[in-house]
Structure 1
């Protein structure tokens, strides 16, 4: 029995290995055909130089034509038949056939070989850019362990059948199939597929987990918060696929002129076949040969390959580093911006307030204060209440007391009863409004100092007497100040647009180091401020994370959303920072500048080569092999230049 199991395992391994080998061969078949064509070219040349009859060399060259040129010929004919459009492939086919028709089999085979090799290299670029997204798609879970709410039984069901509110069991080592909140259990999760961060993240009760990430050694139960098609992982896949299908303006222009340009080249070749022979006294063979050289050197292969390989390489590099772009146009335009505007909460700051300072009256212990306040704030979903509860839960030593009654005074604070004592929590205005509870004079100085630092003060009172105070602040993101400084060094004006009041806005703006700040902005006012920035600086980048930022993100020339932000912001934005790191904006700007620089280099180089070869051919200084090498060599060079963007 054991022997049979071993055979079965070995057979499975062999089958997987064979499948992997076949898959690798299939992915590189265009390159393989090109190299086989080159091999027949080389053998044919050796045979041609020996004493073997020339017919043998011709057969070998013919095989080089058929095998090496198969994919490019197929591509050109399909464009001609299905889309009724002329492409550079048609020019190359005609040039190779023309060379063979006057006995230049060797030169025609060289043309086919180098042309097919450049095509295989361009295909490699596509495959390289597909690699990351293919890996993501393969990692997307297909099933989930659904827990029956009535019986508690576990059923494996397709991921698309999972609904919001369902409970899912995730075992150690499994791929997490849903976006959700941990209900029970503790574990660590590898979130590198989403964030690029290799260090596992600890997950406990109430932690958020995401589809496509990998569970560690613990078992957890998760409540589903999003359906599969709305999950962050699926959105990331959609964004990359969308980016690959979009064409930047430069590429659109090239594709628009390719057909008319091919017609012009064919017209020039026709004139070349007629004028030198009838008017300049050239022989027909020389005339035809020069026409074939013109057909080769005037082909815009290098021009066509100047943009997309570079763009795909840049998109792939961005995706690997947690920057997702919805289209090449946005990456191309990004470096042209003159000003970058930031939302404050959740963008420059963490978006989660923390208690930074506390005051406690002398006749009350800190543990007494923290226990009572923590018990009250546990009942609230307000961000400030959550911050105070988190702080008190951490600092208090005993169990939180029972809250007998609680009353929420909207816009001011909260009242509650604990063990016969009446507690009030809120701003100084609430203390004055609630039975005129006096705040000690020296505490007001403490309050003014903390407010000057952009902090919010929440007072706690018991039975009409002040018991303590909490200073709360939304801390700026790690490296936010350094990133903003580097953006300024790159020549960008930095502006913060926030709905917070002036004191907080000024404090955060100075701490972050932005050039300007605009406070107390409602969503529609943010849009107007972006309009004003566009009038003043022409091109504007807007960075945000919330629903209230979506209109401004849409209005800006380039909208950038934080990956931790709302679905509306992510859907509206043009770029998404999956790891919510502001420093990735610098990476995006560098990629954009390098992309534009490389595209300009490629276009200038490829057009210059075409012009020089055409002039050389007119003066009969360019042979067909030299024209092939010069033209196709320039195509390979521009592709290789674009591949440099695969490195960040």
Structure 2
């Protein structure tokens, strides 16, 4: 068999091997991209059996001595700056999709992220230039790759950059390198350490230093420059206005207004030009048409005021919206970029990307924990609020887990790293929240569809207003041209389309800050509509582990009874035995000396203590030994009806006492359930596999409305169905593993204890990061507040639009009032949504 592209040394490759050869990672201009070919590995050999392909039907070039060639599709992500409404995202998409090398461009307004799938000839500079033409700026995102960015000092011409590239290409551990002389930045994809790269660069006379974290300084700078230009044009308009009333010639005031129009209008007009070329009808197009039209009919003051108000409104909108997106960036900044690694007896400071699983890191008091791990030395208390939302620090000692981004409050600790930086709980939270913010809620999808139909209709209507009335003799061309321009400005539904996404992003960011992961706008809206919540009992409403609840002494003292029970149960691994041992240890009671320990299967344990056999077990054990129990039977049965497990302590002749063990209700449960009733969730249901007695006791203690007892996992699904048939919108709260079927069946699945639990994060729609219910009322309240604000925004936007439209035809709506109604409404909608950040 001939050597094929997916095989070497004439070896037959499996289909899995072939598939993997046709999906690879490479670098374009220093950015990690994924390369795939969907037609790969689909060919067969002459005998009809799938085998190595003829290089994917020539769609991928054969491997050469220079390494594998680049495959067809590659994915690159950018952060976009400057978008102030979803129509901006559409403009960028259309503009980029015209480029030959781009197969698909998707912009998510909520997260300000652009994803491009393009050919191997794709130039990142070309992409960034195209985005700048449209009036925005872009920054490539590098995630989960071996690419690092360095500052390089000492370069004095572009040939220096080429020399660095050529030298690093000779290093086997370097996969790709690009050096940009103008920015002084070097991007390297390498397998060796940062120190090795710095050393290699130093060999040819330059100094390199790694850039730890990207910053948003460029965006801030742009915003500051924008405010300067807005202020300058505002002064020009003010001078022109004052001059027109103080005898200054009309020519001079017109010059001042025209300069103001050019200064404030350059960016929107340029963006409008490229938007029209891409077939997009956004606010820049409408506003530019209005300003140019105003100038043509001699309304220079109107035109200057319109474009100035538009520029100011956009700047304020952009600044406000960045606050909603900052919740994710704040999460990213929680974990430090470096860690103190213990190597032998020395501590070495390393970037977190270079720390491996199994290495020991040292965290000093007051420092943030850089990586997930397990404490192997030291005791401390850790503020886990950034991850779980818990307000009280948690005590930690050897064997306990700690999470990246949390704060070491007191003692110095040594931690064994259990997860790489890209796999930490914090990284997963960031990823989940970004995914959630990228999903459109049903309301947002409807509004976007409405706007896409509404805007072209009103645009055509504006043209009709300009042309038809004067054509049929109703008024002058100038009069109707002005009214048509006002209608153009009012046409863009900016406030309407921004009404939902900003509220959703704000609410999801707020929830994440409080230790609650909401996986999308759909689930946020569902949470606001929930009127019944079903809870798993064990581990959700209760602690999930038994504790001693009652001690009844008969022929001895309480301490003596606990000491005997401690001695008997200390050799057992049963959860009930562990509960008794833990209680004895906490009470400071000492165990006695015993021997001949024996486990009596299904009944209890025995041992010789003080020369006599003693027993700890259930009522059946003592009945078989004919020990008199008639005087305690009533007490035993009473405890059992309360859902408690009874352990009797005694000898072959008498019952010395009774200890009952029960799964106790969580300290936060009652408060959480009361909070849910206060926010309007009145139907609280418990689902449990325990008996009727236990269910009844727990429901009474926790103020549960109703319960379903003695359920198997499939029975819990039936219980959810029953609640839904009764007309309830049902949420199910469980641990995300045993309750998976019920979580999937409910209208909304809520998992407990997401910190460090992959399954909980994956299975549920909402994850409570702390292992308790205290954040649930806040989540429901936040969701309902979000729904209320979304409705407020939509109605406000529509009413303002309707009023503006009705004022056009009597001639009462001027151009500057039209732009104020649109950009002003959008700004009010944004500010209203930002209230969700402070809930």
TM-score by length of 2: 0.67
- Residue 603 (str. 1) matches residue 794 (str. 2): yes
- Residue 249 (str. 1) matches residue 438 (str. 2): no
In structure 1, the partner of 2:665 is 476
Residues 126 and 312 in structure 1, CA contact (< 8 A), matched pair in contact too: no
Decide which of 544, 556, 566 is 1:351's aligned counterpart. Answer: 544
Residues 327 and 510 in structure 2, CA contact (< 8 A), matched pair in contact too: no
Change (3 A) 1:218 1:284: same
1:144, distance to aligned residue in structure 2 (A)? 4.5
Deviations 1:141-166 (A, max 9, x none): 44555557xx6776666546667666
Aligned-partner SS, 1:457: strand
Q: What stretches of structure 1 of length at least 5 have no aligned partner? A: 1-18
1:168, distance to aligned residue in structure 2 (A)? 4.3
In structure 1, the partner of 2:576 is 384
Change (3 A) 1:38 1:316: farther
In structure 1, the partner of 2:712 is 522
In structure 2, the partner of 1:46 is 242
Change (3 A) 1:493 1:203: same
Aligned-partner SS, 1:314: helix
Residues 91 and 262 in structure 1, CA contact (< 8 A), matched pair in contact too: no
Task: Provide the rounded CA distance (Å) in 1 between the counterparts of 2:493 and 2:501.
Answer: 14
Aligned-partner SS, 1:620: coil
Change (3 A) 1:619 1:315: same
Aligned-partner SS, 1:139: coil
Count of residues in correspondence between the two structures: 623
Task: Provide the rounded CA distance (Å) in 2 between the counterparts of 1:182 and 1:430.
Answer: 43
In structure 2, the partner of 1:544 is 734
Aligned-partner SS, 1:221: strand
Task: Provide the rounded CA distance (Å) in 2 between the counterparts of 1:586 and 1:315.
Answer: 15
Task: Provide the rounded CA distance (Å) in 2 between the counterparts of 1:56 and 1:254.
Answer: 46
Change (3 A) 1:34 1:368: farther
Task: Provide the rounded CA distance (Å) in 2 between the counterparts of 1:418 and 1:28.
Answer: 82
Task: Provide the rounded CA distance (Å) in 2 between the counterparts of 1:167 and 1:429.
Answer: 52
Aligned-partner SS, 1:440: coil
Deviations 1:362-382 (A, max 9, x none): 35x655554564466566665
Change (3 A) 1:342 1:161: farther
Task: Provide the rounded CA distance (Å) in 2 between the counterparts of 1:39 and 1:56.
Answer: 14
In structure 2, the partner of 1:534 is 724
Residues 282 and 492 in structure 2, CA contact (< 8 A), matched pair in contact too: no
1:329, distance to aligned residue in structure 2 (A)? 1.7
Superposed counterparts of 1:28-67, under 5 Å: 34-67=230-263
In structure 2, the partner of 1:5 is none
Task: Provide the rounded CA distance (Å) in 1 between the counterparts of 2:588 and 2:768.
Answer: 37
Decide which of 809, 816, 830 is 1:618's aligned counterpart. Answer: 809
Q: What's the Cα RMSD here?
A: 3.5
Task: Provide the rounded CA distance (Å) in 2 between the counterparts of 1:280 and 1:337.
Answer: 59
1:496, distance to aligned residue in structure 2 (A)? 0.8
- Residue 338 (str. 1) matches residue 531 (str. 2): yes
Deviations 1:402-424 (A, max 9, x none): 88776666765556677987665
Change (3 A) 1:498 1:461: same
Task: Provide the rounded CA distance (Å) in 2 between the counterparts of 1:167 and 1:415.
Answer: 45
Superposed counterparts of 1:63-82, under 5 Å: 63-69=259-265
Residues 455 and 471 in structure 1, CA contact (< 8 A), matched pair in contact too: yes
In structure 2, the partner of 1:586 is 777
- Residue 452 (str. 1) matches residue 641 (str. 2): yes
1:532, distance to aligned residue in structure 2 (A)? 2.1
Change (3 A) 1:63 1:379: farther
Residues 495 and 514 in structure 1, CA contact (< 8 A), matched pair in contact too: yes
Deviations 1:46-86 (A, max 9, x none): 3444444545544544454454456655665665556x432
Superposed counterparts of 1:8-19, under 5 Å: none
1:516, distance to aligned residue in structure 2 (A)? 0.9
1:517, distance to aligned residue in structure 2 (A)? 0.3
Deviations 1:463-483 (A, max 9, x none): 786554332233323353344
In structure 2, the partner of 1:258 is 451
Change (3 A) 1:357 1:572: same
Greater Cα offset, 546-555 or 177-186: 177-186
Deviations 1:327-354 (A, max 9, x none): 1221122222221111112222233432
Q: What stretches of structure 2 of length at least 5 have no aligned partner? A: 1-214
In structure 1, the partner of 2:699 is 509
Task: Provide the rounded CA distance (Å) in 1 between the counterparts of 2:224 and 2:610.
Answer: 76
Change (3 A) 1:427 1:585: same
Task: Provide the rounded CA distance (Å) in 1 between the counterparts of 2:564 and 2:268.
Answer: 77
Task: Provide the rounded CA distance (Å) in 1 between the counterparts of 2:264 and 2:574.
Answer: 68
Residues 370 and 393 in structure 1, CA contact (< 8 A), matched pair in contact too: no
Deviations 1:81-115 (A, max 9, x none): 56x43223322222222222222232223222333
Task: Provide the rounded CA distance (Å) in 2 between the counterparts of 1:147 and 1:408.
Answer: 46
Change (3 A) 1:305 1:359: same
Task: Provide the rounded CA distance (Å) in 2 between the counterparts of 1:410 and 1:32.
Answer: 83
Residues 85 and 259 in structure 1, CA contact (< 8 A), matched pair in contact too: no
Task: Provide the rounded CA distance (Å) in 2 between the counterparts of 1:259 and 1:301.
Answer: 11
Greater Cα offset, 237-246 or 378-387: 378-387
In structure 1, the partner of 2:309 is 114
Task: Provide the rounded CA distance (Å) in 2 between the counterparts of 1:66 and 1:430.
Answer: 95
Aligned-partner SS, 1:473: strand
Decide which of 683, 698, 721 is 1:493's aligned counterpart. Answer: 683
Deviations 1:384-441 (A, max 9, x none): 344323211112344x568877666676555667798766544434555xx6474733
1:229, distance to aligned residue in structure 2 (A)? 4.6
Residues 186 and 220 in structure 1, CA contact (< 8 A), matched pair in contact too: yes
Residues 371 and 401 in structure 1, CA contact (< 8 A), matched pair in contact too: yes
1:543, distance to aligned residue in structure 2 (A)? 1.4
1:30, distance to aligned residue in structure 2 (A)? 5.3
Decide which of 622, 627, 638 is 2:818's aligned counterpart. Answer: 627
Aligned-partner SS, 1:341: strand
Residues 549 and 569 in structure 1, CA contact (< 8 A), matched pair in contact too: no
Change (3 A) 1:297 1:401: same
1:616, distance to aligned residue in structure 2 (A)? 2.3
Task: Provide the rounded CA distance (Å) in 1 between the counterparts of 2:607 and 2:235.
Answer: 87
- Residue 132 (str. 1) matches residue 327 (str. 2): yes
Aligned-partner SS, 2:293: helix
Decide which of 101, 110, 125 is 2:296's aligned counterpart. Answer: 101
Task: Provide the rounded CA distance (Å) in 1 between the counterparts of 2:377 and 2:687.
Answer: 39
Residues 408 and 414 in structure 1, CA contact (< 8 A), matched pair in contact too: yes
In structure 1, the partner of 2:206 is none
Task: Provide the rounded CA distance (Å) in 1 between the counterparts of 2:363 and 2:572.
Answer: 30
Task: Provide the rounded CA distance (Å) in 2 between the counterparts of 1:109 and 1:602.
Answer: 29
